[in-house]
């Protein structure tokens, strides 16, 4: 378990600060994560990687010459926010374009895609390559749905070396996609990991048993078997990966890079015992082993487990894999001295400056701040239960993420409302803060809902029940477009849709907002509870779909809780009719 921490809520921030100080030869901290301290003589394409903290050396430890130019570092096991990714990409960009690369997780995709859209709107050429190396997370015909685990390093290394070699953005993107297509990984665990301050690990495995096909965020394995010998485990890993040789590869005499990755508490000596057999088995199958790596490459706190990755080489990939690299967490060969880089950072907006607003909008902003403060209190009380529900088929961090996001959102909303901001500005600032602190899929979705609703309410127009209902409907549509989920996928959308539809119907029929919201909250709660009968088809829980049957979706449950809490605030306020202002 993780023993050394101060306030668990500050762990990631304090870890990033300490890491940047300790690794100042390679990296410097900027808002959102870290970037290189040095740069090449001539500008190159910038490789920006990222993900949740808790996986060192991924992701900050892979920033340096020959690898990444910057890493967006989210909270523990939670994706960095779109704002964090944007800030890192802006700081790392040298005018030749930016490649974003990260593991294929729903929250990361949502946030990185948002950042990409923002950068493109500013004229920056940005591309994305997600890593999909985990063979157990989806079948071969759905390879695009697979998650990224330790194969991240293979893709990042190829792309980073291509940047260093002067490839243009088209070439760097091509190489990254090519490396991803030729990378396969498979992992096992003997125990789960325990986050700072948590009393229990995210999952447990019975003594003498081993979880097969685990994720790196505390997701339980797909299967469970008896713990084999070291040689038996080596055979299991090798056989699984050689059963799925990439389509373009002729395995006869092929060259491969094996990466044997320890997930946190398996000792190097144990890894070497396993690797001894892995190496011999690969040679026995007629493969040529090239520059293998054994050690901690992508960890999961104190998880006892390991994974094997195979990168199937061609001439170009071998050249890029063998190229020099110098980062805090991964080095190959020796590199020449570089000049120090001075980051160009975007000025942070002055939170004390707010746009002009109408009295009615300012009144609505105060109501929104009150509601968000009540929501933060309700989430605090429910966080443990939300985490327990999420642990059944996910990584168990939904409660923690909702706590972080709701607290930050409430604080930002109160600060804005007390400076006489209108409803639109208040909700938009709450959205930004929620996204930054929560990260993850739920952080992106709640930010999108709050932001969309805020834009509909504005700062100077009348705040009527009809406008609120239209804003909620727009938020529902934005979330469905944003996350690609639909009713029946066992996500938050299962509760959002009936809530928005019931609210719109009741307001259209002439109901007051307080009453209509209460009826809609009942519909959301009923729909959230009904997700217990569904199997998950999206997100991290998708790999454990049937396991989630009998347990409701945590995102839907937390959405219903928020709706009930907001209704309690509305019930104590003057009501809004469809046409009248507050």
Report, as residue numbers or ranges, the catalytic residues.
217
| CA atoms of 241 and 27, how far apart (whole Å) | 35
Q: Which residues, other chains included, contact 305 with Cβ-Cβ below 8 Å and sequence gap of 6+? A: 187, 188, 189, 190, 191, 211, 214, 262, 263, 264, 266
What separation in angstroms does the CA of 202 have from each of 6, 34, 77? 20, 28, 11
| CA atoms of 321 and 333, how far apart (whole Å) | 11
First to last CA, the chain: 51
SS3 at position 358: coil
What separation in angstroms does the CA of 136 have from each of 281, 312, 437, 543? 21, 18, 30, 8
Give 251's Cβ-side CA count (13 Å radius). Answer: 13
Phi first, then psi: what are they for 497, rounded to 5°?
A: -60, -55
| CA atoms of 169 and 98, how far apart (whole Å) | 7
Phi first, then psi: what are they for 551, rounded to 5°?
A: -125, 130
Whether residue 26 contacts residue 48, with contact meaning beta carbons closer than 8 Å, is answered with: no
Q: Which residues, other chains included, contact 481 with Cβ-Cβ below 8 Å and sequence gap of 6+? A: none
Of 333, 258, 329, 327, nearest to 299 (Cα)? 329
Please give the distance of CA 400 from its chain centroid, rounded to a whole number.
14
| CA atoms of 458 and 422, how far apart (whole Å) | 7
Please give the distance of CA 489 from its chain centroid, rounded to a whole number.
19
Whether residue 399 contacts residue 386, with contact meaning beta carbons closer than 8 Å, is answered with: yes
Burial class (CB in 10 A: 0-12, 13-18, 19+), 339: exposed
Q: Which residues, other chains included, contact 203 with Cβ-Cβ below 8 Å and sequence gap of 6+? A: 192, 211, 218, 219, 220, 391, 396
| CA atoms of 272 and 279, how far apart (whole Å) | 10
Taking residue 174's Cβ as centre, other Cβ atoms within 10 Å add up to 17
| CA atoms of 434 and 83, how far apart (whole Å) | 11
Taking residue 78's Cβ as centre, other Cβ atoms within 10 Å add up to 30
| CA atoms of 358 and 505, how far apart (whole Å) | 28
| CA atoms of 301 and 374, how far apart (whole Å) | 33
């Amino acid at each position: 378990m993780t023993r050394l921490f101060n306030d668990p809520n500050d762990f990631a921030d304090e870890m990033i600060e300490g890491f940047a100080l300790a690794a100042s030869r390679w990296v410097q901290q900027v808002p959102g994560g870290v970037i290189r301290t040095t740069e090449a003589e001539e500008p190159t394409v910038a490789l920006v990687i990222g993900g949740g903290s808790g996986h060192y050396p991924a992701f900050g430890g892979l920033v340096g010459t020959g690898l990444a130019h910057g890493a967006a570092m989210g909270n523990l096991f939670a994706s960095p926010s779109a704002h964090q990714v944007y800030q890192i990409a802006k700081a790392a960009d040298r005018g030749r374009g930016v490649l974003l690369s990260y593991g294929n997780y729903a929250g990361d995709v949502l946030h990185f895609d948002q950042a990409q859209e923002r950068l493109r709107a500013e004229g920056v050429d940005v591309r994305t390559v997600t890593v999909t190396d985990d063979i157990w997370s989806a079948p071969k015909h759905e390879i695009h749905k697979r998650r990224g685990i330790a194969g991240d390093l293979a893709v990042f290394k190829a792309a980073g070396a291509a940047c260093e070699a002067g490839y243009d953005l088209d070439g760097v993107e091509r190489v990254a996609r090519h490396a991803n297509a030729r990378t396969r990984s498979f992992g096992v665990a003997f125990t789960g990991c325990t986050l700072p301050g948590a009393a229990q690990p995210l999952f447990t495995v019975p003594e003498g048993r081993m979880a097969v096909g685990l994720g790196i965020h505390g997701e339980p394995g797909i299967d469970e078997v008896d713990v084999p010998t070291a040689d038996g485990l080596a055979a299991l890993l090798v056989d699984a990966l050689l059963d799925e040789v990439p389509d373009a590869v002729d395995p006869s005499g092929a060259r491969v890079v094996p990466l044997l990755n320890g997930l946190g508490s398996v000792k190097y000596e144990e890894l070497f015992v396993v690797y001894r057999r892995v190496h011999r088995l690969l040679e026995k199958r007629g493969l040529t082993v090239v520059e293998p790596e054994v050690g901690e490459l992508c960890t999961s706190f104190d998880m006892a487990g390991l994974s094997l990755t195979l990168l199937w080489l061609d001439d170009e990939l071998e050249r890029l894999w063998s190229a020099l690299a110098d980062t805090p967490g991964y080095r190959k060969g020796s590199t020449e001295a570089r000049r120090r880089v001075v980051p160009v950072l975007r000025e942070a907006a002055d939170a004390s400056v707010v746009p002009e607003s109408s009295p009615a909008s300012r009144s609505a902003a105060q109501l929104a701040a009150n509601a968000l403060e009540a929501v933060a209190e309700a989430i605090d009380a429910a966080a443990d239960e939300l985490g327990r529900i999420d642990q059944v088929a996910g990584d168990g961090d939904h409660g923690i993420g909702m706590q972080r996001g709701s607290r930050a959102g409430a604080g930002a909303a109160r600060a804005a409302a007390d400076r006489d901001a209108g409803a639109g500005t208040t909700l938009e600032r709450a959205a930004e803060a929620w996204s930054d602190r929560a990260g993850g899929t739920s952080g992106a979705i709640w930010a999108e809902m709050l932001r969309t609703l805020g834009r509909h309410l504005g700062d100077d127009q009348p705040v009527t029940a009809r406008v609120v209902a239209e804003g909620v409907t727009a938020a529902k549509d934005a979330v469905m477009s944003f996350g690609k989920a639909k009713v029946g996928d066992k996500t938050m959308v299962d509760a959002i849709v009936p809530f928005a539809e019931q609210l719109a119907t009741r307001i259209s029929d002439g109901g007051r907002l307080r009453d209509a919201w209460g009826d809609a909250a009942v519909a959301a709660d009923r729909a959230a509870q009904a997700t217990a009968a569904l199997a998950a088809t999206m997100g991290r829980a998708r790999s454990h779909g049937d396991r989630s049957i009998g347990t409701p979706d945590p995102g839907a449950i937390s959405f219903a809780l928020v709706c009930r809490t907001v209704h309690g605030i509305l019930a104590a306020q003057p009501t809004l009719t469809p046409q009248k202002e507050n």
